Amino acid sequence: MLRISCPWCGPRDEPEYAFGGESHVVRPTPDVDDATWAQYLFQRENPKGVQFERWCHSYGCGQWFNIVRDTVTHEILTVYQMGAGKPAIET
């Protein structure tokens, strides 16, 4: 089980959170072709290693935030608020 530190509430166990998928996915403009929309909607990196993710503290404060997690070791490298820039971490 992951122990995730919410930026507002502090460390809590994983069942209090909802996974929101990969973070920093940029929505394309409405006039793009179908292939670009499909890429945006369905294709994710799913790396073996460092991944940028969105999480919601759904059974706590209800706030969304980002974490950087290693998908192999489950180590959480950093936690940062939505809207903050993508941290410089080697992937």
Chain residues in the site for Zn ion (CB under 5 A): 6, 8-9, 57, 60-61
> Toward Zn ion, which CB reaches closer, 16 or 70?
16
> Toward Zn ion, which CB reaches closer, 50 or 61?
61
User: Tokens 């950093």 — which residue?
Assistant: 78
At closest approach, how far in Å is the CB of 65 from Zn ion? 8
At closest approach, how far in Å is the CB of 9 from Zn ion? 3
At closest approach, how far in Å is the CB of 31 from Zn ion? 38
Q: Count H helices, E strands: the chain?
A: 1, 6
Report residue 6 as tokens: 């919410």
Q: Which of 23, 26, 61, 59 is nearest to 40 (CA)?
A: 26
